[in-house]
């Protein structure tokens, strides 16, 4: 599926705000250990583009030497005329600030993706072009473009219908790049993608929000403290470490864990199902307690397959310069350690 995201995985649809609709083929998407493909039908029917926060990526089988990629500690390099990676809004020619890095967890160079990470969210409903040039493999050898991309770049005829069908789209893409001062002959790879419209991406949340506010405003959601420890010896920075649960309105099927989706009505809109219990963790640092004034609350968000209990050891609980901060956290349902056993391995 690389490069991704890509307009290759869309089809024209005049009924949408972007003029496109996602069109994933379930024969090319990742499959789990049970040989089941990622369920694409809901995405194809619902979205008119890709997320503005998509993790842009590409791959060369020879691998990529990351030495001269625009780094995370100097992202302005991505806007220079010599940047090896280019992210461009097609209609305005605006270069998008980003950094690029190789996948540090890849099992081998031939499966090592390069990530292009925007430093600000992409615009809604906009076409973007990604281009790369002057890359070398880990041995220092210049990377050759694929035969398919070379045919499009150099206007070489082929007998492959899929490549020929892409020519009009690629010509507009090359034109946008050349207008920005990036000659097509310098490119090793380029592709385009379109971000989804604001209307489509926010529709579910906008529909849920009034109902959610009504239920929260009633003041009857409730919480329960199940464990309150004062001066916990294993957490010397804390005066109080508390655990409990709080009620959360659920608009999801089942228990809302991995594999569950929005419970939709006939119009395709999410509907309230029930109140469910979610875990919570509250940490009051000793410095905040000793200050004797109301403390501000810092909400801790754990990473993938992490835990809300990390709030007890968050760096914010160890900063004496922030004595008026308390920390709270929760286990993010479907992305925490407690949900790990329900994930299907990807083949």
CATH number of the CATH domain containing 16 = 2.60.40.1220
The helix or strand, by DSSP H or E, that contains position 24, with its residue range, turns out to be none
How far is the CA of 90 from the CAs of 209, 223, 319, in angstroms?
A: 34, 49, 45
Task: Kindly report the average pLDDT of the chain as a whole number.
Answer: 89
H-assigned helices in 14-160: 41-46, 147-153
Same domain, 177 and 210: no
33-37, 115-119, 193-197, 261-265: which range is least confident on average?
33-37
Could you tell me the residue range of the domain that residue 101 belongs to? Answer: 7-196
Residue 1 in any domain: the answer is no
Share of the chain above pLDDT 70, in %: 90
- pTM for the predicted model, two decimal places: 0.82
Residue 2 in any domain: the answer is no
Residue 347 in any domain: the answer is no
In DSSP terms, which residues pair with 330 in a beta bridge?
A: 280
Same domain, 245 and 299: yes
The helix or strand, by DSSP H or E, that contains position 201, with its residue range, turns out to be helix 198-217
How many structural domains compose the chain?
2
Q: What is the pLDDT of residues 181-209, one digit of tens each?
A: 999 999 999 999 999 999 999 999 999 99
Same domain, 324 and 233: yes
Could you give the dihedral angle defined by the CA atoms of residues 46, 49, 54 and 60, in that order, rounded to the nearest 10 degrees? 120
Same domain, 57 and 78: yes
Q: What is the number of alpha carbons within 13 Å of residue 217 lying toward its C-beta?
A: 6
Beta-sheet pairing, 325-330 with 296-300: parallel
């Amino acid at each position: 599926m690389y490069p991704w995201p890509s307009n290759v995985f869309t089809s024209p649809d005049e009924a949408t705000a972007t003029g496109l609709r996602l069109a994933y083929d379930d024969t090319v998407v990742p499959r789990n250990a049970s040989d089941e493909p990622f369920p694409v039908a809901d995405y194809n029917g619902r979205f008119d583009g890709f997320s503005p926060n998509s993790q842009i990526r590409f791959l060369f089988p020879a691998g990529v030497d990351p030495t001269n990629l625009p780094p995370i500690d100097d992202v302005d390099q991505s806007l220079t005329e010599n940047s090896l990676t280019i992210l461009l809004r097609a209609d305005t020619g605006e270069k998008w600030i980003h950094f690029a890095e190789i996948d540090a967890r890849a099992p081998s160079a031939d499966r090592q993706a390069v990530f292009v990470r925007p430093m600000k969210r992409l615009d809604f409903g906009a076409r973007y072009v990604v281009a790369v040039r002057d890359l070398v493999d880990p041995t220092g050898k210049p990377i050759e473009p694929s035969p398919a991309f070379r045919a499009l770049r150099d206007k070489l005829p082929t007998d492959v219908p899929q490549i020929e069908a892409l020519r009009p789209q690629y010509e507009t893409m090359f034109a946008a790049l050349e207008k920005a001062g990036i000659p097509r002959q310098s490119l090793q790879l380029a592709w385009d993608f379109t971000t989804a419209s604001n209307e489509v991406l926010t529709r579910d949340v906008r529909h849920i929000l009034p109902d959610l506010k009504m239920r929260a405003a009633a003041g009857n959601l409730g919480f329960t403290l199940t464990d309150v420890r004062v001066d916990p010896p294993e957490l010397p920075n804390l005066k109080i470490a508390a655990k409990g649960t709080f009620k959360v309105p659920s608009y999801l099927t089942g228990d809302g864990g991995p594999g569950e989706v929005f419970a939709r009505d006939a119009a395709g809109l999410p509907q309230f199902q029930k109140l469910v219990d979610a875990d919570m963790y509250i940490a009051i640092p000793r410095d905040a307690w000793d200050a004797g004034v109301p403390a501000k609350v810092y909400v801790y968000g754990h990473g993938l397959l992490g835990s809300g209990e990390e709030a007890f050891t968050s760096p914010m609980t160890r900063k004496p310069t922030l004595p008026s901060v308390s920390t709270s956290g929760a286990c993010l349902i479907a992305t925490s350690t407690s949900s790990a056993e329900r994930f299907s391995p990807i083949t």
